[in-house]
């Protein structure tokens, strides 16, 4: 049996298919690298936002505590409070 002669365009078709497959593989690898970088950048941005929020919350808590201490100091130094304190110490001495 004699081998059949292949058409020459079949060789070009096979070669072009291989070239397209290699190009698709390289593009996928490059795209995967960008995807990984994108996820890392998104995580970093999320971490920075969480840090900013925590800093803001801590500052707000500090201001609230400072105002509370100032109000308590004003209440302790008020004349009514001083009079009540004098009355309570006078009754305990008897």
pLDDT for 30-76, tens place per residue? 888 888 888 999 999 999 999 999 999 999 999 999 999 999 988 88
pTM over 0.75, yes/no: no
Looking at residue 33, the DSSP 8-state letter turns out to be H
The CA distance from 35 to 60, in Å, is 38
| Element of type H or E holding 2 | none
Is residue 81 over pLDDT 60?
yes
Per-residue pLDDT, 4:
75
For the chain, give the mean pLDDT. 86
Per-residue pLDDT, 53:
95
Is residue 26 over pLDDT 60?
yes
Is residue 51 within 8 Å of 57, Cβ to Cβ? no
17 CB neighbour count, 10 Å cutoff: 10
């Amino acid at each position: 049996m004699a081998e059949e002669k292949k058409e020459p365009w079949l060789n070009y078709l096979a070669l072009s298919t291989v070239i397209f497959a290699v190009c698709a593989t390289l593009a996928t690898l490059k795209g995967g690298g960008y995807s990984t970088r994108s996820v890392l950048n998104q995580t970093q941005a999320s971490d920075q936002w969480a840090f900013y929020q925590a800093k803001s919350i801590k500052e707000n808590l500090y201001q609230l505590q400072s105002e509370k201490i100032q109000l308590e100091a004003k209440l302790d130094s008020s004349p009514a409070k001083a009079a009540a304190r004098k009355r309570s110490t006078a009754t305990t001495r008897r």
